Amino acid sequence: GRYLYNFFPAKLHLFILKFKDNELKCLCSFCFPASDIAPEVASYSDVAKQIIDLAVFGAARNRSYRRLADFTDTIGNRVSGSQNLEMAIKYMHKAMTQDGLDVHLEPVKIPHWVRGQESAEMILPRAKSLAILGLGSSVGTPPEGIQAQVLVVQSFDELKQRASEATGKIVVFNQPFVSYGETVAYRAFGASEAAKLGAVATLIRSITPFSINSPHTGWQDYQDGVKHIPTACITVEDAELMWRIAQRGQAIIVKLIMGAKTLPDADSFNTVAEIRGWQHPEQVVLLSGHLDSWDVGQGAMDDGGGAMISWEALSLIKDLGLRPRRTLRTVLWTAEEQGGVGAQQYFNLHKVNLSNFDLVMESDLGTFTPVALQFTGSDAAWKVMEEVVKLLAPINTTKLEMHGEGTDISPWMQAGIPGASLHVADSRYFWFHHSEGDTMTVQNPRDMDLCSALWAVVAYVVADLEDMLPR
């Protein structure tokens, strides 16, 4: 079939017209009846069970976990621009090629920020070492460091109210954790907001609901036209300590040393593996996770697990001798942690073929016990996906939720391509996120088997349906 995409203003919706057997068929969300798709999707129940059995009970049991352990134990963490990241890309290229997949690399340019040596110490009212992690893209201090009095605030509003006190100070943000999406603004913008008021550095309470004196790093963004000042995260415990001391009216002095610097952009690659479709190889269902991590821990949870289940999904399908109508393409993104840099360049390169992308999938919130599939798409596509997740009854994950999410697939979803993400039992995710605690110890092999099974069933069935998902 050939697809034509046109806007018809009379009805103000997108028609997707398919020519088949000399008939013109509209696949838009107004005209695509769910009743047509239910029997077709249900016919995949045996195949879905085969995939699930292989992943959870069969020869592939624990395989994604073992692959992740081998990978992270061999390579370690993989920050953008580092030699470790390039070693990781070579490792995965070789491993997926040996697995019998069609693998290639697509070159991109990525940021190269280096942490350097760093330390912080409270001088007054008593001597205490402070655990810190500099934030990505931060500038360093002078070699002798910065020693200054501290201003502790709990919000941007309080900082503005106390603006006259900020000049020449190290501003400590002791903001409470509300949610990652809301609270991360302090990590992202705290330095520039404080610099506007004359602060010389910022220390940000780590963006986590739970701490055992562990700092959590992450990317931060300097605002144009605002002085760049050093910024690092500190532990929840130390942020609260300084807050209590400040509330007693005692002066706090901290010495901060950071050797951070930004080097010229580095060469890197997105890593791509495929099972080519037998009928429509130009049409693509894309699965993904990101291969880079921060420079602490092992990057096992964020996002080694997502990368491995996206590889494992193709392995399961290949091992069963299955080949869908459309191409299944796994992309392991580079430099996601710096704002989806590799993925944005991939989108820029491939958006010319936008109409051939059927579904884009991303796993980047952990591979704990799967709870549901999250989905963004038209009403008609939603009806299709509701039928698809019913095939996951053997592993009790038949729930479909609104809003697929993921930094790396967001450009595609914004362009109107259906998107899906994995919702897992992630209550512990931000305990370990961007910290030394992100190691294999966090991972559970059965959880990864279940995630792999879900990922493979959804990707295969959508790729093999007679029609693409309605836009």
CATH number (domain holding residue 122): 3.50.30.30
- Other CB atoms within a 10 A radius of the CB of residue 262 amount to 16
Is 143 exposed, middle or buried (CB count within 10 Å of its CB: 0-12, 13-18, 19+)?
A: exposed
The closest alpha carbon to 136, from 109, 118, 122, belongs to: 118
What backbone torsions phi and psi does residue 353 show, to the nearest 5 degrees? -105, 30
User: Does 186 share its domain with 108?
Assistant: no
User: Does 289 share its domain with 408?
Assistant: yes
Last residue of a domain, one of 259, 288, 311: 259
Token representation of residue 325: 């109508």
Last residue of a domain, one of 209, 236, 259: 259
- 436 three-state secondary structure: coil
User: Does 228 share its domain with 376?
Assistant: no
pLDDT for the residue 8: 32
User: Which contacts of 177-183 are long-range, i.e. CB under 8 A and separated by 24 or more positions?
Assistant: 177/207, 177/208, 177/209, 180/207, 180/430, 180/433, 183/207
Instruction: Show the CA angle centred on residue 262, arms to residues 258 and 268, nearest 5°.
Output: 130
User: Does 244 share its domain with 310?
Assistant: no
Catalytic residues: 336
pTM exceeding the 0.75 threshold for the entire prediction = yes
Positions of the chain with pLDDT lower than 70, given as ranges? 1-35
- Other CB atoms within a 10 A radius of the CB of residue 9 amount to 6
- Specify if 22 maps to a domain: no
Q: Let me know: does 447 contact 64? Beta carbons within 8 Å.
A: no
Give the strand order in the sheet containing 23-26.
Answer: 2-8, 13-20, 23-26
CA distances from 163 to 151, 200, 208, 302 (A): 10, 13, 27, 37
Total number of domains constituting the chain:
2
* 264 Cα distance to chain centroid: 24
pLDDT for the residue 36: 86
- Strand spans (E) along 301-458: 326-333, 357-362, 370-376, 400-402, 419-424
What backbone torsions phi and psi does residue 36 show, to the nearest 5 degrees? -70, -35
Q: Which domain holds residue 214?
A: 117-259
User: Does 109 share its domain with 124?
Assistant: no
User: Does 385 share its domain with 273?
Assistant: yes
User: Does 46 share its domain with 156?
Assistant: no
The closest alpha carbon to 424, from 400, 445, 451, belongs to: 451
- Specify if 332 maps to a domain: yes
User: Does 255 share its domain with 291?
Assistant: no
Q: Let me know: does 347 contact 411? Beta carbons within 8 Å.
A: yes
- Specify if 2 maps to a domain: no
pLDDT for the residue 341: 98
User: Does 375 share its domain with 441?
Assistant: yes
Q: Which strand (E) or helix (H) includes residue 452? A: helix 445-464
